[in-house]
Chains A and B, each alone.
Chain A
Amino acid sequence: MKVKLENLSKRWGKVVGADHINLDINDGEFVAFLGPSGCGKTTTLLMVAGIYKPTEGNIWFDNQVVNYMTPKDRNIGMVFQSYALYPHMNVFQNISYPLKLKKVPKNDMRERAQRVADMMGIGHLMDRRPAQLSGGQQQRVALGRALVKEPQLLLFDEPLSNLDARLRLSMRGEIKRLVIELGITAIYVTHDQVEAMTMADRIAVMKEGKLQAYDPPDELYDQPRTLFVAGFVGNPPMNFLEVEVSRKNGDYHAHREKFDAIVPTEQGEKTAGKGNVIMGIRPEDITISDEGVGGEIYVVEPLGRDDLVTVQIGEAIVHVLADPVLGLKMGQNVTLDFSTHKVQFFDPQTEKSLLWAE
């Protein structure tokens, strides 16, 4: 099923939950809503579910506006962060509750619930109460309950946030596989950019109720359209430096106090002569080399595969991912090479990218 949000807004008096959201979701597409806590992800999702009525705008399911359709008529399945299992019902009753409400015959109901439970690997726990299950098992029951009525749209609201790191990793893969296998259109809300990047076909980045970007993960990462997206996606986050770009002896240079780096021509052409701009560069795109910009190491944090090195350049601070083999130490002087074609530039006023115009 295709989903389309058209100018969708939700307000409670002065509080804005969602602000004129426009996006299309293709049939069978897996879309993530990504943004910090309080940015309106849940609000938007609950409007799609029919729990909240939009203040403004339309929700389309295929060719139908569903604004006033009740949740039960929308044929959707939803998984909540808190699992939202019914504590007084056992696993079987939880999973089969949607079927019971649809008045599916008893035998049919039993069979379908068992099939879904087996698929989720909880077929042997049918008689347990939710309180007798582990977090991961509860999550599976919640998934089973959402899937049992064979919905046309699956909604997830931070379903993995309550699980421990290991389990989160394995459930992440499982959910992705399941959704792709079943071919159901899915919206997955998360504040964890890794989850969004790894699972979704497209990511809708939100901030303060507004849609910031709606792109496939790699584009979001390599061509961030706003300063916010650039800073939010990627870990450790992108470095930002206020610089001025100008042309000297045929090369473009980005410079600021105690800082001068060569910028690729493509980016230089779009930013030279624009006064102060914000340069963005990811920690993994800066290399420690023999020549470049000099700075002093403020602190070194080993991350295992890499060292996260914080370098002070004049007033500015940049984070660099460095090979632990280099054995960098606090207080040491290093030179950094900023010359990469992955460097980003943003307008400090509009916070929009100067490279990837709409």
Chain B
Amino acid sequence: MTLRKRFGRAVPYVLLIITVLPVIVGYFWLILSSFSISTEGLRSTGFTLSNWSFLRGSPFGRGYPSIWKVTLNTFVVAIGMTIAVIVVSSLAGYALSRLNFPGRKSFLSLTLILHAFPSVTLLIGIYFVLRTLKLYNTVLGVGLVMIGFELPFGIWLMKGFFDNVSWDMERAAMIDGASRLRVWGEIILPTIKPGIAALAIFAFISGWNAWLIPKTFTIGAGQQATLSVYLENFRGDTVAVQWGAVTAVGLFQLIPVAIFFIFTQDLLLSIYAGGAKGGT
């Protein structure tokens, strides 16, 4: 191999390293800081586990929920949201892709508008709705609102995946003797598995990381809090920010997402890199 060729090969790596370096340094600091009394730049002033003490008991004293309760809340929101978004989106997306019903066009454009709509502007209106329904400051209320905000995206994504499934396959199955519901469940859904997986990942992560909606519709770090809101309490207005604890909780929150990514990164890559490929 000539020098030129070798150099040519090295260029992409060098560029990648340069761009990724700050991110890696950031994570390095995050981990270091969570196990340190304090840090000076990238140097630790001493090892400690005290930052992780939030795992036991209630870090903000009595009346506040334990981290496990909050983690459970977050899981409930994220998983509930994932399931609801997938079920509703795949049914609605199928109908929008395949059936011709009155109002289909307007429904489609409305979904698109809702997807593009800045959700912040709706917060006050939703607050009153939740109050009326007695769902303010409940995990259920937060979950419902987040499902609502995620659905337009989910429906559009699923509709796109259904659009790519050949009509012939569906017709073949109907002629083979399947009902519409069976065609949907046994023939169409399995062929768009990558799409469903992608939506599941998106929904789970956005549910897990959500901050704005839980923050708005729950009270402080109460029994109904989710991790992002809870994390915020470590930098209250009255006390100095406990950076060590913030980084530890941050890392804690990161773990499920990281695990999720490790298991699904092949799938995600294939989706990002070329759309779902599902045979003929």
* Chain A residues packing against B (C-beta within 8 Å): 46, 49-51, 70-72, 74, 76-78, 80-88, 97-98, 101-102, 129-131, 138, 142, 145, 149
Give bound CA distance, A70 to B168, whole Å.
16
Q: Kindly state the separation between the CA atoms of A28 and B279 in the bound complex, as whole angstroms.
A: 35
B190 and A82 contact, CB distance less than 8 A: no
Chain A residues whose C-beta falls within 8 Å of the C-beta of B137 in the assembled complex = none
Q: A101-B182, A129-B279, A131-B280 are in contact. Are A86 and B175 (CB under 8 A)?
A: no
Question: B243-280: which have CB < 8 Å to A?
Answer: 278-280
Q: Does B171 contact A130, Cβ atoms closer than 8 Å? A: no
Summarize B's interface: helix, strand, loop or mixed: helix
Task: Provide 19 A-B residue pairs closer than 8 Å at the C-beta atoms, listed in order of the A residue.
Answer: A49-B171, A71-B174, A72-B174, A78-B171, A80-B168, A84-B168, A84-B169, A85-B279, A86-B172, A86-B173, A86-B187, A86-B191, A88-B193, A97-B173, A97-B178, A101-B177, A101-B182, A102-B177, A130-B279
Q: Chain A residues with Cβ under 8 A from B191's Cβ? A: 86-88
Q: Report the minimal beta-carbon distance from B275 to chain A, rounded to whole angstroms.
A: 15
Cβ contact within 8 Å between B175 and A71: yes
Contact pick for A72, options B176, B187, B279, CB 8 Å: B176
Q: For A151, give the chain B residue with the smallest CB separation.
A: B175
Query: What is the 8 Å Cβ interface bit string for chain B, positions 143-182, against chain A (1 contact, 0 not)?
Result: 0000000000000000000000010110111111111001
**Cβ of A80 and Cβ of B171 under 8 Å apart?**
yes
The 5 closest A-B pairs by CB, nearest first: A87-B279, A72-B177, A84-B168, A101-B177, A84-B172
- Decide: A51 near B280, CB < 8 A? Known: A88-B191, A98-B176, A101-B178: no
Are B176 and A51 closer than 8 Å at their CB atoms? no
Given contacts A84-B166, A87-B191, A101-B182, contact A138 B175 (CB under 8 A): no
Whether B177 lies near A98 (C-beta < 8 A) is yes
For A82, give its contact among B175, B187, B280 (CB under 8 Å).
B280
Contact A80 B177 (CB under 8 A): no
The reply to whether A82 and B166 form a contact with Cβ atoms under 8 Å apart is yes
Residues in chain A near residue B176, CB distance under 8 A: 72, 97-98, 101, 145, 149
Q: Judging by beta carbons under 8 Å apart, are A72 and B178 in contact?
A: yes
A76, A85, A87, A88: the one contacting B175 at CB < 8 Å is A76
Instruction: Name B's A-contacting residues (CB within 8 A).
Output: 166, 168-169, 171-179, 182, 187, 190-191, 193, 278-280
Cβ contact within 8 Å between B182 and A51: no
Query: Which of B169, B175, B182 lies at the interface centre, i.e. has the most chain A CB atoms within 10 A of its CB?
Result: B175
Contact A87 B171 (CB under 8 A): no
A residues in contact with B187, CB < 8 Å: 86
Chain A residue numbers with a CB within 8 Å of B174 are 50-51, 70-72
Minimum Cβ distance to chain A for residue B229 (Å): 41
Complex CA gap A49/B182 in Å reads 18
Q: Which A residues are in CB contact (< 8 Å) with B182?
A: 101
List the A side residues contacting B172 at CB < 8 Å. 78, 80, 84-86, 142, 145
With the chains together, A84 CA to B171 CA distance in Å? 8
Is A77's CB under 8 angstroms from B190's CB? no
Q: How far is the CB of B190 from chain A (nearest CB, A)?
A: 4
| A145-B178 Cα distance, complex, nearest whole Å | 14
Which A residues touch B168, using CB under 8 A?
80-82, 84
Min Cβ gap A136→B in Å is 14
Q: What residues of chain A lie closer than 8 Å to B193, measured between beta carbons?
A: 88
Complex contacts, A142 vs chain B, CB 8 Å: 172
A68 to chain B minimum Cβ distance, whole angstroms, is: 15
Q: Among the listed B175, B278, B280, which residue makes an inter-chain contact with A83, where contact means beta carbons less than 8 Å apart?
A: B280
A82 CA to B179 CA in the complex, in Å? Answer: 21
Is there contact, CB below 8 Å, between B171 and A138? no
CB distance from A158 to the nearest CB of B (A): 11
* Chain A residues whose C-beta falls within 8 Å of the C-beta of B175 in the assembled complex: 49-51, 71-72, 74, 76-78
Instruction: With a 10 A CB-CB cut-off, give which of A50, A74, A83, A84 has the most chain B CB atoms.
Output: A84
Closest to B190 in A: A88
**Of all chain A residues, which has the CB nearest B182?**
A101
Contact residues in B for A74 (Cβ distance below 8 Å): 175
Provide the bound-state CA to CA distance between A81 and B166, in Å: 11
Closest to B171 in A: A51
Query: When chains A and B are docked, how far (Å) is the Cα of A80 from the Cα of B168?
Result: 7
**Taking CB as reference atom, which chain A residue is nearest B189?**
A88
Q: Inside 8 A of A80's CB, which chain B residues have their CB?
A: 168, 171-172
C-alpha spacing A131/B175, complex, angstroms: 22
Instruction: Return A79 CB to nearest CB of chain B, in Å.
Output: 9
Most chain A Cβ neighbours within 10 Å, of B177, B179, B190, B191: B177
Besides A81-B168, A84-B168, 7 new A-B residue pairs in contact (Cβ under 8 A), listed by A number:
A50-B175, A71-B171, A72-B179, A78-B171, A78-B175, A86-B187, A97-B173
